[in-house]
């Protein structure tokens, strides 16, 4: 069964700092990988989707990379802002596409 | 609608009662997922619907849980004889087709007393 791990579980940084969140998965036979943001008491918002054939995706200050062979993905956030404070989750979909396996997330706090 | 809608947003029930949770996906989305998020835990897959295909029910934790999707649109998750361990946030997500960008609802917070 696919296992998804996110490190660190929590991170606190001063405003303006660049940061990297890590995601690792045990089975490289994935269809795609998705990064989400979850605010307290809310659902999840998809930030970036990387297909298995791609190496990275960018959206604004966010950049996600994928190394399928080593089972790793990183989410890079440039020039962090207090509004970036949230929990970030990564999820990988199975080759059959029937479900996504989620990590337990990294709780990010950006201090003004 | 503009997004995935879930109702109710909060549900408090007594142990042993049945509950129904509703999900209204984005119009035209053929894929629909139900997940459960317990406090401090990751998201747990429950069930997946894709178009008119038979649903993937492999994540349902017991036979007290069931789900249906009528007309390829609205989905209802039913929990019979609720137990305290069923307390969690139940999240619904849809996507245009299969495992692509997921759009989540705000969830239903279920509390079983």
In this prediction, residue A6 carries a pLDDT of 96
Q: Can you tell me which residue has the tokens 């984005």?
A: B26
Handedness of CA B2, B3, B9, B14 (dihedral sign): positive
- Nearest by CB: B104 against A43, A49, A99: A43
A43 interaction partners in chain B (CB closer than 8 Å): 4, 91, 93, 104-107
**Chain B residue with Cα closest to A43:** B106
Q: What is the pLDDT of residues A49-99, one digit of tens each?
A: 999 999 999 999 999 999 999 999 999 999 999 999 999 999 999 877 678
Question: Cα separation of B92 and B112, whole Å?
Answer: 19
CB contact under 8 Å between A43 and B33, yes or no, is no
B104 CB within 8 Å of a chain A CB:
yes
pLDDT band at B86, cuts 50/70/90? very high
- Nearest by CB: B99 against A36, A97, A103: A97
B1 pLDDT more than 60: no
Pairing of strands B108-112, B10-13: parallel
**Chain A residue with Cα closest to B59:** A99
Of A74, A68, A81, A71, which is closest to residue A108 (Cα–Cα)? A81
Helix (H, G, I), strand (E, B) or coil at A83: helix
Helix intervals (H) in chain B: none
CB contact under 8 Å between A43 and B45, yes or no, is no
- E strand spans, chain B: 5-7, 10-13, 19-24, 31-37, 43-50, 65-69, 75-79, 88-95, 103-104, 108-112
Strand partners, B109: B10, B89
Q: What is the pLDDT of residues B39-55, one digit of tens each?
A: 878 899 999 999 888 99
In this prediction, residue B42 carries a pLDDT of 84
Q: Which of B7, B37, B43, B53 to mutate to test the interface with A (most CBs of A within 10 A)?
A: B43
B58 interaction partners in chain A (CB closer than 8 Å): 98-99
């Amino acid at each position: 069964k696919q296992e998804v791990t996110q490190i660190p579980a929590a991170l606190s940084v001063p405003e303006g700092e660049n940061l990297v969140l890590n995601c690792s998965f045990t089975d490289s036979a994935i269809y795609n990988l998705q990064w989400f943001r979850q605010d307290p008491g809310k659902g999840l918002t998809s930030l970036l989707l990387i297909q298995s054939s791609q190496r990275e995706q960018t959206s604004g200050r966010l950049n996600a990379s994928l190394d399928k062979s080593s089972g790793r993905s990183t989410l890079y956030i440039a020039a962090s802002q207090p509004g970036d404070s949230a929990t970030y989750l990564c999820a990988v979909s199975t080759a059959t596409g029937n479900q996504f396996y989620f990590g337990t997330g990294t709780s990010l706090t950006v201090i003004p | 609608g503009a997004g995935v809608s879930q109702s109710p947003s909060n549900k408090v029930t007594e142990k042993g009662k049945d509950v129904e949770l509703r999900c209204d996906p984005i119009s035209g989305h053929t894929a629909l997922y139900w997940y459960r998020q317990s406090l401090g835990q990751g998201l747990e897959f429950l069930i997946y619907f894709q178009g008119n295909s038979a649903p993937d029910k492999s994540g349902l934790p017991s036979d007290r849980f069931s789900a249906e999707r009528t007309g390829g649109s609205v989905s209802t998750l039913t929990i019979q004889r609720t137990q305290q361990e069923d307390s969690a946030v139940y999240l619904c997500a849809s996507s245009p087709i299969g495992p692509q960008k997921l759009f989540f609802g705000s969830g239903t917070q279920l509390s079983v007393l």
